[in-house]
């Protein structure tokens, strides 16, 4: 599901860029192009927030403390949250 919001953000960036670029050349529609770019910016902000929230929930459902905790575990090659928690506990001792 977070992938869908990531693609929505990508398409929104393209759409916003297209509207801003064409607003330079089409003088009659400049106001509507800026409105569309503003709406695209709001959609981009919303999709980014929703994507972040979904990634956080996925990490917590998997058993990690947060998304950054999951990324730390994946960076050292550990994909099981139980093993990662045991490694962290052993480092604290």
Q: Hey, where are the domains in the chain?
A: 1-44
This prediction has a pTM of 0.73
pLDDT for 1 beyond 70: no
Per-residue pLDDT tens over the stretch 35-90: 999 999 999 999 999 988 998 999 999 999 999 999 999 999 999 999 999 988 88
52-90: buried (b, 16+ CB within 10 Å) or exposed (e) per residue? Answer: eebbbeebeeeebeeeebbeebeeeebeebeebbeeeee
Per-residue pLDDT tens over the stretch 15-42: 999 999 998 888 888 889 999 999 999 9
């Amino acid at each position: 599901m977070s992938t869908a919001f990531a693609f929505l953000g990508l398409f929104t960036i393209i759409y916003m860029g297209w509207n801003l670029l064409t607003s330079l050349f089409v003088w009659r529609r400049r106001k509507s192009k800026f409105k569309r770019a503003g709406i695209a910016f709001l959609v981009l902000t919303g999709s980014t927030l929703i994507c972040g929230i979904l990634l956080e929930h996925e990490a917590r459902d998997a058993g990690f403390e947060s998304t950054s905790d999951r990324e730390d575990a994946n960076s050292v090659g550990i994909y099981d949250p139980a093993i990662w928690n045991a490694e962290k506990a052993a480092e604290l001792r």
